[in-house]
Amino acid sequence: MSRPRLILGSGSPRRRELLAQIGIVADEIRPPEIDETPRKTELPRPYCVRMAREKALAVRAGADDMVLSADTTVALGRRILGKPRDAGEAAQFMLAMSGRRHKVVTAVAVRRGTRIWERDVVTTVKMKRLSDEELNAYLATGDWQGKAGGYGIQGPAGALIPWIQGSFTAVVGLPLAEAAGLLQAAGYPVYRGCA
């Protein structure tokens, strides 16, 4: 029995790397073009789930192809901290999280034909109280660019995170246990090489 073609509906190199950790390489990468603007009064978790679903639906795929999409959102209370427009906004985000806990929500959607399997994972993250020196050194790395909340835990910002409660891979961008479960439920042979 041949496995279905897997299309990764994401341009994130981090998601490709995470899938590779469990031996999965997408047959094709098709980042979807969708409007990621939160709706008025939309809360972070429903927003993130909606984004993952809309991304999965926006990717062109054959009837038996499988599409995997995900969205990661940083939430400070009810506020969604998206990808900062510039270093000034990245600094605002980092200062808002400095010395506080925040949530990282990552939603995953797998589509095969007309069916969709979905999961979301919420992880609590604590950022240390940042000194001006730490903040400026971090901003100078440029690592804040293109990352929800202005940081990636797998990069230089990892030194600013003393603890998390939840899924490390979800904070990076794809909760591997949940993604593997969804792929398996949709008929993808995740563990074919593990026997």
pLDDT tens-digit profile of 114-131?
999 999 999 999 999 999
What is the pLDDT confidence band of residue 1, given thresholds at 50, 70 and 90? low
6-186 CATH = 3.90.950.10
From residue 82, alpha-carbon distances to 27, 147, 188 in Å are: 29, 8, 31
pLDDT tens-digit profile of 3-58?
889 999 999 899 999 999 999 999 999 999 999 999 999 999 999 999 999 999 99
Catalytic residue among 27, 64, 71, 120: 71
Determine the angle formed by the axes of helices 87-97 and 132-141, rounding to 10 degrees.
Answer: 140
What is the pLDDT confidence band of residue 194, given thresholds at 50, 70 and 90? very low
71 is catalytic: yes
Mean pLDDT value of segment 128-137: 97
Inter-residue contact 8 to 26 (CB < 8 Å): yes
If you write DSSP's letter for every residue of 18-81 in order, what string do you get? HHHHTT---SEE-------PPPTT--HHHHHHHHHHHHHHHS---TT-EEEEEEEEEEETTEEE
Question: According to the model, what pLDDT value does residue 190 have?
Answer: 86
Mean pLDDT value of segment 57-62: 95
